[in-house]
Structure 1
Amino acid sequence: MSIPAENPVPTPPEVRPGRPPLRSDAWYAGDDRNAYLHRAWMRRGVPSDAFEGRPQIAIANTASDFTPCNAHLNEVSRSVQQGVYEAGGIPLDLPVVSLGETLVRPTAMLWRNMAAMAMEEMFRANPVDGLVLLGGCDKTIPALLMAAASVDLPAVVLSGGPMLNGTFRGQTLGCGTDVWRLGEEVRAGTLTAERFVRSESSMIRSRGHCNTMGTASSMSVVAEALGMTIPGTAGVPAPDSRLLENAHMTGRLAVDLVREGRSISQVVTKESFHNAIVALAAVGGSTNAIVHMLAIAGRLGIDLDLDDVDRIGAGVPLLVNLQPAGEFLMEDLHRAGGVLAALSQVADLLDPAAITVTGRTLVEAVTDDNPVWDTSVITPRSEPLQADAGIAVLRGNLAPAGAIVKPAAASQHLLTHRGPALVFDSVEDLKARIDDPDLPVTPDSVLVLRGCGPRGYPGMPEVANLPLPKKILDLGVRDMVRICDGRMSGTACGTVVLHVSPEAAAGGTLALVRDGDTIVLDVPNRILQLDVDDEELSSRTPPASLVEHFAAPTRGWERLYVEHVQGADTGADLDFLVGSTGPAVARESH
């Protein structure tokens, strides 16, 4: 019997005849000094065949203690790694820039493009053959998808999932949505500050992202509708052991994607965005998903615009009864059958050509056996919560490049409205005056907040759902028409017109509105109009009180952002990041 050598001399890997080349071969194949360096520094306990034709799968991991919604993703990554190994690949955990929605100042949206740019460069600079995109909190999945689109490698998304339902005083408590509701009750004097603070631990009950149909949940749904997840993974609660099962299967799939050569541009097409828009309407998803979808499409060179959003979403019924547009939470949606069960009700509205990362079409996945188990959570197509729930795109002299409103979260009686403007020139101005007892406001007033767009703030913060003036709350009123060039949290609700483009800081008409001007909102006819004639508008200039609050950074990322950010109507990406560079390997440095 022969005894193997204790330390066999490894044979330098080569690209064997008949084996499809891997991108990582540019680092590891051959017997020259550079290949030696790359292998030697990465060996550290891995088997000697780790570099011999085994796909190198980077797990782009947004776990961070400063992103509490993603703090559990290291555990999820370990299950992904097991699946990668099982399928014959080599898993490599790659921590990437993470953005905690509730913590990052001035707004996480300011850093989405930076995170995407940093991720893109790391994906391209390293010996990566395929990607598992591991995210959850609002900006992490958009940034991951934007970066992956730019390098166009085989990739698959895995969302970390929503937290479990919270309860407070015997009632279900949804994170985000109920923050706004309870906060207004404190201001109205119907809830004590002590009880409000006591609800904190009840609201955030477990690991995971927001359990309402906010931006995090919406982007998980969008990723699945785009075909970028294993069908059925969106919305699995973070503490559910089935998330780890899905993670294992996602690791396996990532290896298969590399071997089959199926990159993100082969999966995500114009038809995929059609399906994502339908899905977003059917579940009552966040308006933030629109700006993220536009940015992702821009990275892929896909011609997607606001008119597509309005046209495709028109007539799509709201079927999912979740906060903020409804009653239940993400754990209930999963219990009732999940995203696929909801989409099964509108399968005829989906584009049958769009595929998923599995190679099958989304329609095939949706029309498999996906029954609805609770019709109070997922309503029948014949009895929708709303017949037309698509995001409405408004135009007029106040928003020539477009503005959006979410009818599913609005008060129906305010979707057609005419009233006098009450203007705030900055967030600071709003905070200083909103509860002034002498504020000249009535329930018919239209609250206008400006200077909050991508360039003006900078970063387009979630401030569009302005708090109602205390004197209005004291009247028992809980909604008014509000208009802003910023965004609002996907967990928020109300009759809020947002993403007004061009923004005030980019020369938009919003900068010229004065107190008392009549504003006309007509959502059914898609109109947002300032009832001031062109001659009068041409004579106006933006007030100094507005201009002095526009962002004017002198250095760093903020300066780069302000100088190059585009409008919300195209995704608020940086102009030099639009389009895909592809996976080409950079020149050798050694």
Structure 2
Amino acid sequence: MAQDPTKGSTKLRSDRWFAPDDLRSFGHRSRMMQLGYSEEDFRGKPIIGILNTWSEMNSCHGHFRERAQDVKRGVAQAGGFAVEMPSLSVDESFTKPTSMLYRNMLAMETEEMIRSHPFDGVVLMGGCDKTTPGLVMGAITAGIPMIYLPAGPMLRGHYAGRILGSGSDAWKYWDERRAGNISDEEWLGIQGGIARSVGTCMTMGTASTMTAITDAMGLTLPGASSIPAADAGHQRMSSACGRRIVEMVHEELTPDRIITDAAVRNAAVTAMATGCSTNAVVHLIAMARRAGVEFTLDDLDALGRTTPLIANVRPSGKDYLMEDFFYAGGLRALMKQLEERLDLSCLTVTGKSLGENLEGAVVYNDDVIRPLSNPVYHEGSLALLRGNLCPDGAVIKPAACDPKYYVHEGPALVFDSYPEMKAAIDDETLEVTPDHVLVLRNAGPQGGPGMPEWGMLPIPKALIKQGHRDMLRISDARMSGTSYGACVLHVAPESYVGGPLALLKTGDIVRLDVPARRLDMLVSEEELEARRAAWTPPEPRFQRGYGWMFSKHVLQADKGCDFDFLERGFGPAAGEPDIF
């Protein structure tokens, strides 16, 4: 027996599509029936969109087809109706020149998909680096109840009795191969053993950093970010997300009630304590600005100076991986250690406060998750720099580099492109010393394009063969969260738009002083003015399409690299569709 077409809850957004007795709603109901559903399946129930970034080219999300079914089970258990929608899958491994070029595209797609479809709430399925901020940024602006489902880290890598960390050990063993210390057989063995299950990088790279930030901000079920992708607990967490999002719809628990200034600061403190990726800077600022929270590089640096790094997880830590972190108690246990530094009153997707969510959390291995009295590093993971090379800021990860470079002065060796740099560093006749400062420019948001992860410049082959494994490197690019070394990144403004990095010349003396938070070129202001007058802008990277739009509207790194027209201050978001 068909339901009364006027029946339905007035507070469900989806009722605007399905409840009225008019021609448009007749068409909506008819098309749902075409899909095999009866009105009893979807009428008067919260309709939950599952935005799934699964792709056969995204190994980190290889389990998401199955996890979407787990979410659907949970939604049905709670009395909702779930529909799965494909979302742009911006994977880190295969997307060129960088998935960062498409983070904002995913954010736009997420916002518009939510706005234009009859969703009362959404479950966001992501994990690989840019999917987390992209999905969250779009959902913040769309404004309906949302919960984030993190992909989870892969299992530990193994080869020949050695535990391998994805990314970090790839860089490490590649240097040894370049030095002639790794055989073909060993190299193939490492290749096959370093990533042996579904899930994101199991080091504290960008993926685990961003899911931890989202968890700490209150947008995931408590501790969800720590569960390994292959663990049965991940399936249970996924169905729990489905149950909870239905409850959130009834509670009208929207992102603006969760993402506050205090929640952003909680996320920043937690990130610093984990040994977070340098990419956290760009993404956290972008997410905060979408929510109308003014959070700057200086805010992040101030929190970092007073937050010790207590997660002994590679690459900032020395011994452990994310699987060990999970067994040691996971993010809830780490945040329990930080309680005195967090605002425990913040509301979360559970409907409870952060403090309530942390009740009962226990550290099971205090070498993996250290007490505040025995940190891995006395300050947080990142330091923000300023100076005449980076007036709008730059970032370095002191916890992951040789301390002898905290204060360093040396001559610059400047490269204008990645191919130029790559050819030079493999030339064993290159005139370079360990005191040189390698510089790559034209690799920022517009110059890259998209700010690729080129900032961990390879050590020149001649120095590798001499036994050197670190040196100071500077760029307006980013680097992988699994990377390490004395790398200064995100130099702003970027050189491609005429920032001071564009004026640096090979042979100029560069001075880094991490304790003083300074990065300068020791060149007179008169000389810099002459160079500035002689500088000519490079040719545009794009002449059409998305790349053209990206170049015209992307903000600099210190502003989070969002599009100017998508920031909250640009203007109000479009309202609900009013043509039915």
Q: Which interval holds the TM-score relative to the shorter structure?
A: over 0.9
Using the alignment, how far apart are the partners of 1:551 and 1:330 within structure 2? 41
Shift in Å, 1:461: 0.2
Structure-2 residue corresponding to 1:350:
342
Structure-1 residue corresponding to 2:543:
554
Q: Which amino acid aligns with 2:354?
A: L
**Map of 1:199-218 to 2, 5 A cutoff?**
199-218=190-209
Q: Is the 8 A contact 1:418 1:521 kept in 2?
A: yes
Q: In structure 2, the residue corresponding to 1:92 is in which secondary structure?
A: strand
Q: Which amino acid aligns with 2:395?
A: I
Q: Is the 8 A contact 1:212 1:330 kept in 2?
A: yes
Using the alignment, how far apart are the partners of 2:167 and 2:6 within structure 1? 53
Structure-2 residue corresponding to 1:512:
503
- Change in CA separation of 1:52 and 1:338 when aligned onto 2, cut-off 3 Å: same
| Structure 2 residue 294 is the aligned partner of structure 1 residue 325 | no
Q: How many residues align?
A: 576
Q: Is the 8 A contact 1:119 1:147 kept in 2?
A: yes
**Map of 1:7-22 to 2, 5 A cutoff?**
8-15=1-8, 19-22=9-12
Match of 2:26 among 26, 36, 44: 36
TM-score of the superposed pair, with normalisation by structure 2: 0.97
Shift in Å, 1:390: 3.9
**Map of 1:120-135 to 2, 5 A cutoff?**
120-135=111-126
Structure-1 residue corresponding to 2:552:
563
Shift in Å, 1:542: 8.9
In structure 1, the gaps of 5 or more residues are 1-7
| Structure 2 residue 98 is the aligned partner of structure 1 residue 107 | yes
Q: Is the 8 A contact 1:77 1:93 kept in 2?
A: yes
Q: Which amino acid aligns with 1:448?
A: V
Q: Which amino acid aligns with 1:25?
A: D
Structure-2 residue corresponding to 1:289:
280
**Map of 1:129-528 to 2, 5 A cutoff?**
129-326=120-317, 327-366=319-358, 368-528=359-519
- Change in CA separation of 1:542 and 1:143 when aligned onto 2, cut-off 3 Å: farther
Cα deviation, 1:306-326, whole Å, max 9, x if unaligned, reads 111111222211111111112
Q: Which amino acid aligns with 1:202?
A: G
Q: Is the 8 A contact 2:312 2:367 kept in 1?
A: yes
Q: Which amino acid aligns with 1:29?
A: A
Q: In structure 1, the residue corresponding to 2:66 is in which secondary structure?
A: helix
Shift in Å, 1:381: 1.6
Q: Is the 8 A contact 2:316 2:381 kept in 1?
A: no
Using the alignment, how far apart are the partners of 1:543 and 1:332 within structure 2? 54
Cα deviation, 1:1-23, whole Å, max 9, x if unaligned, reads xxxxxxx23321434xxx45211
Using the alignment, how far apart are the partners of 1:283 and 1:126 within structure 2? 37
Cα deviation, 1:278-312, whole Å, max 9, x if unaligned, reads 11111101111111111111212211111111112
| Structure 2 residue 561 is the aligned partner of structure 1 residue 539 | no
Shift in Å, 1:42: 1.3
Q: In structure 1, the residue corresponding to 2:371 is in which secondary structure?
A: coil
Q: Which amino acid aligns with 2:567?
A: V
Q: In structure 1, the residue corresponding to 2:489 is in which secondary structure?
A: strand
Shift in Å, 1:551: 4.6
Q: Is the 8 A contact 1:458 1:551 kept in 2?
A: no
After the TM superposition, list the runs of 4 or more consecutive aligned residues in structure 1 that deviate by more than 6 angstroms: none
Q: In structure 1, the residue corresponding to 2:491 is in which secondary structure?
A: strand
Structure-2 residue corresponding to 1:83:
74
Q: Which amino acid aligns with 1:24?
A: S
Shift in Å, 1:448: 0.6
Using the alignment, how far apart are the partners of 2:489 and 2:257 within structure 1? 33
Q: Is the 8 A contact 2:497 2:537 kept in 1?
A: no
Q: Which amino acid aligns with 2:95?
A: V
Shift in Å, 1:358: 1.1
Q: Is the 8 A contact 1:407 1:415 kept in 2?
A: yes
Q: Is the 8 A contact 1:157 1:229 kept in 2?
A: yes
Cα deviation, 1:183-219, whole Å, max 9, x if unaligned, reads 1111111112442122122111111111110011111
Q: Which amino acid aligns with 1:372?
A: V
Shift in Å, 1:566: 0.6
Using the alignment, how far apart are the partners of 2:523 and 2:184 within structure 1? 43
Q: Is the 8 A contact 2:50 2:68 kept in 1?
A: yes
Q: Is the 8 A contact 2:32 2:38 kept in 1?
A: no
Structure-1 residue corresponding to 2:567:
578
Q: In structure 1, the residue corresponding to 2:226 is in which secondary structure?
A: coil
**Identity over aligned pairs, percent:** 43
Q: Is the 8 A contact 2:285 2:559 kept in 1?
A: yes
Q: Is the 8 A contact 1:485 1:500 kept in 2?
A: yes
Q: Which amino acid aligns with 2:295?
A: L
Shift in Å, 1:581: 4.8
Shift in Å, 1:349: 0.8
Shift in Å, 1:45: 3.3
Structure-1 residue corresponding to 2:14:
24
Cα deviation, 1:68-95, whole Å, max 9, x if unaligned, reads 1112111111111111111111111111
Q: Is the 8 A contact 1:342 1:378 kept in 2?
A: yes
Q: Which amino acid aligns with 2:239?
A: H
Cα deviation, 1:72-119, whole Å, max 9, x if unaligned, reads 111111111111111111111111111111001111110111111112
Shift in Å, 1:543: 8.4
Q: Is the 8 A contact 1:151 1:581 kept in 2?
A: no
Shift in Å, 1:403: 0.4
TM-score of the superposed pair, with normalisation by structure 1: 0.95
Using the alignment, how far apart are the partners of 1:581 and 1:71 within structure 2? 37
Using the alignment, how far apart are the partners of 2:205 and 2:533 within structure 1? 34
